[in-house]
Amino acid sequence: MKKIKLIDIASARSGDKNNICNIGVMAKTKEDYSILKEKLSAERVKAHFGNLIKGKVIRYEWDALESLNFVCHEALDGGASRSLRIDTLGKNFSSHLLRMELEV
Amino acid sequence: MDKKTVRIAGTQGFYGDSPMGAIMVAMQGAADYLMHDALAELTLSILQKDKLKDPSLGYARDIEFHAAKLYPVCLGKGIKVVTDSGGLNPHSAAKKVKAILAKQGIEEVNIAAIDGDDMMDKLEQLKADGLPLLNLDSGEAYTDSVYEPTHANVYIGAQCIKDALEQGADIILAGRVADPCLALGILAYEFGWDLAGKTQEELDRMANGIMIGHILECGGQASGGNAYSEWLGRDYKFSHLGYPIAHVESDGSATITKLENQGGKVSRNTIREQLVYEIHNPNAYITPDVTVDFTNITVEETGENKVRVGGARGKQRPEQLKLCIGQMEGYMSEQLFYFSWPYAYDKAKAFVEAAKETWAALPFQYDELRVNYLGINGIHEDVAQPINKERIDEMNEVGVRIAFRHKKPHVGKLLIQSVVCLGLNGPPGMNASMNWGKAASMRLGLFPTLIPREYISPQITIY
């Protein structure tokens, strides 16, 4: 087993819908997608964001794009127009997730 | 098979986007339609503020510049413009555009205003009719809300766009048409698609139309902007970014491209990045016209800056439409300032400690305070990667951001002004660049809910 960072095998883009943030995680290769499917669970994502995500995290598999989509509820401090955060739109949820370490 | 191709360029991704991408596409005659999305979830609340100050406003004001510099080029080349920039006041928007064009001697133009999405005056009726109006996120009932509404708009579908084009519109200024439905309406008009969605074939091509709209709706985000996947080894410029252009065929499949002589890039990666953006369940992307299953789409690079997309599947449209109600929930205020080495972080924390003691003694209070140390935990707050003390002590500078939530508009400014004295009385060397104590921002809440379709009848007026 070795440790890698998610950014080594994937890119990500995140955005807002009211208080929900979704993070699309796109594998670089088909092999990387298999690793994502096996290692990157909704529970791990929720734990990685601690206090930032107050609700549930749902994972969707999107094989055609070799991507996982994480829909994070109660994640944006009430939503962009209510939030006291700097990242009101959750654009940097992607970057925080890309820093996650995985054992492969 | 019909070999006709319709070219739609997504040349505006938000209210305030650069007009240059659109102007370049128009000048080069590289599209048949420009699709401009000016309405994010919040934009209608901003437009409502404009409209309260001046009843002739309430539309996305970049159409004024577009009418002066972009639309004349489009009209000269037979390019049509389809946008939701009409916002809360499509009629006023249309009259304004008409007047700006007339000043340039352009009289022969049909401008369509589309409204019927604005439910602000009907909220009481919706309540009186006993609709549940449950919040889609939290489940709470709208009737329990204590806040004043700022706007209430229903996401409407593509039929009104198709109809306006059939009535000869050159420029369409709509209200809250769902973003991707702008593209679907254009395609339905051009290819004669029936939007009733009675057969699987009809549903599938509508689903492809929505996919095209979704790819185009954020402008440069589909053609190299905001893309981690292209960051390493980036081989294109961010400046003068070429916006995405879809060459769509009669079954709704398309090739996405961009102008070769502009910045940006269209690759499988840039298209993937936009496809996942603001999508929840890829098996059920809900729009007013069709529910889309994106799970079996094809996204193939077929050449430099050319990506083929297709294969979306359609399912029945939802029974009800989404109504988004804006609510006035108070105010927010923010201040930034900075400290340099030595002791930058310690000085920042000492400032904040003294500020909190000052605020605690004041006769007015805030509802919530947020403190971020820029460079340390500004963006990711509690879960930011910890930085060891040795590195923190060596930091050249640390920024501080304080943000308040408060009920009365002036309180934030007073709180911030009450600690400006710490510039002289506090830790050494505080910098606050050019301002101290900006005016507060409104804190607007969004209340998303559902209402039956029967309440909505979009209206088209040609000016």
Instruction: Give DSSP secondary structure letters for B320-336.
Output: EEEEEEEEEEEEEEEEE
CATH 3.30.70 fits B329-444, yes or no: yes
* CA-to-CA dists, residue B134 to A55, B41, B291, B324, angstroms: 18, 18, 21, 11
The better pLDDT of the pair B2, B326 is held by B326
Distance CA B280, CA A70 (A): 8
Q: How many CB atoms lie within 10 A of CB B141?
A: 14
For B176, which DSSP code?
Answer: S
Average pLDDT, integer, range B184-204: 97
Average pLDDT, integer, range B2-11: 92
| Binary contact (A73, B379; C-beta < 8 A) | no
| Max CA separation in chain B (angstroms) | 78
Average pLDDT, integer, range B368-389: 96
A98 to chain B: which residues are within 8 Å by CB? 228
Q: What is the SS3 assignment for B397?
A: strand
How many helices (H) and strands (E) chain B has is answered by 14, 18
B48 to chain A: which residues are within 8 Å by CB? none
Distance CA B87, CA B93 (A): 8
Is residue B248 a contact partner of residue B187, using CB atoms and an 8 Å limit?
yes
Interface of A with B in 1-60 (CB under 8 A): 7, 11-13, 15-20, 22, 24, 26, 28, 48-52, 60
**How near does any CA of chain A get to the CA of B273, in Å?**
6
Model pLDDT, residue A81: 87
Question: CA angle at residue B113 from B111 to B116, to 5 degrees?
Answer: 165
Distance CA A81, CA A67 (A): 29
Position B223 pLDDT exceeds 70:
yes
Model pLDDT, residue B138: 87
| Binary contact (B332, A26; C-beta < 8 A) | no
Position B384 pLDDT exceeds 90:
yes
List phi, psi (to 5°) of A93: -60, -35
Query: Which tokens sit at B21?
Result: 């991408």
**Structural domain boundaries of chain B?**
6-117+155-318, 329-444
Band (B2; pLDDT cuts 50, 70, 90): low
Query: Which tokens sit at B340?
Result: 């340099």
Average pLDDT, integer, range B221-244: 97
Average pLDDT, integer, range B420-442: 89
Band (B417; pLDDT cuts 50, 70, 90): very high
Q: For chain A, what is the domain count?
A: 1
Model pLDDT, residue B435: 78
Q: What is the SS3 assignment for B274?
A: helix
Q: Residue A78 sits in which domain range?
A: 3-103
Position A69 pLDDT exceeds 90:
yes
Report DSSP letters for B101-126, one per residue. HHHTT-----EEEEE--B-GGGHHHH
Distance CA B426, CA B436 (A): 16
> Domain holding A19: CATH number?
3.30.70
Please, which residues have CB within 8 angstroms of residue B195's CB and are 6 or more apart in sequence? Answer: B157, B158, B159, B162, B184, B188, B206, B289
Beta bridge partners of B333: B404
Distance CA B421, CA B357 (A): 13
Mean pLDDT of chain A: 97
Position A35 pLDDT exceeds 80:
yes
ipTM confidence: 0.97
Model pLDDT, residue B49: 84
Position B59 pLDDT exceeds 70:
yes
Residue of A nearest to B293 (CA): A62
